[in-house]
Amino acid sequence: MRRCSETLEAEMTPAEQQLLQNLIREENFSGPHLEIGTAAGGTLCKMMKCFEEQTRPKFVVVDRMTYFADQLSIVKENLSTNGLSEKGIDFRTTTSAEAFALAEKQDDHFDFILVDASHKILAVMADLRWMRLLNVGGIACFHDYADQFPGVKHSIDRFLSRYKNYEKVGLADTLLAIRKTAPCETREVSTLDRAYSVMMYLPLEVQRKINKVKKQKAA
C-alpha cells in the first residue's frame, strides 16, 4: 500500500508544493486544469484550494485508479476531508494514451497541466503529447524532473531542445514548470521523438536496475 493512500498527503516536497501553488495563484487561469496521475489526490486538493469555490475552474484528472486498492474512493475521501466537492472534477479513469486520444478528438484545451504519472521514458514521451492541448500562455509542470528519474529528464530535455516555443519558468527540487509562449509550428512529439524513447528505453531500464541493486547493497 502506498504511504499516501493512508496519509492522503501530496507526494511532493514542501518546496515543490509551494512552487505549484504560487504559479496557480499568480496566473489565476480560468480555463480547465489537468492533472495526469493523482495518487491519493493530495496535490489535487492543494491545487483546487488555490481558488475560491465560486471562481474555481474545471479540473480534469486522468488516472487509471489502479495505483493502489480503492484509489478513486480514497481520492474522493480526500476531497471531502478538505471540504472540496467532486462535482467540479472530470475524472477520466483510463490510461493517459486513451484519455489523450479522446481529449484531442473533443478538441479539449487546458490552461494548466501537471504531469506526475509513469516515469518510464516511453510513457513520459507519450504524455508530452498533451502539450498540443496546452493553451498559448499556459503552464505545464512535471514532477520528478531529476537525474534519478532519467526517463523523465531525458524526455523533457529533448522536448525543450526541439520545441523552442516553450520556456522554463520555475524549478523547485524536482518540480519543473514550463510555459508555452507561442503556437507550435509542428505537432509536439513527432515520430522521431517516439523513436528516440523506444531506442532509449532498454538502456535506461538496465541502468535503473543497476542503480536499484547498488542502493540495496548500500543500505
- For the chain, the structural domain boundaries read 4-218
pLDDT of 211 reads 79
pLDDT of 4 reads 62
pLDDT of 166 reads 98
- pTM of the complete model: 0.93
Task: Determine contact, residues 130/113, Cβ cutoff 8 Å.
Answer: yes
Tell me the pLDDT of the chain averaged across its residues: 94
pLDDT of 212 reads 81
Grid cell, residue 143, equals 514532477
pLDDT of 3 reads 66
CATH number for 4-218: choose from 2.60.40.790, 3.90.1170.40, 3.40.50.150, 3.40.50.10490. 3.40.50.150
pLDDT of 51 reads 97
pLDDT of 2 reads 60
Grid cell, residue 131, equals 502539450
Q: In what order do the strands lie in the sheet with 110-115?
A: 89-92, 59-62, 33-36, 110-115, 134-142, 175-180, 166-172
Give pLDDT < 50 ranges for the chain. Answer: none
What single DSSP character describes residue 18?
H
Task: Determine contact, residues 139/177, Cβ cutoff 8 Å.
Answer: yes
For the chain, state the CA radius of gyration. 17
Task: Determine contact, residues 47/21, Cβ cutoff 8 Å.
Answer: yes
Q: How many CA atoms lie within 13 A of 209 on its CB side?
A: 5
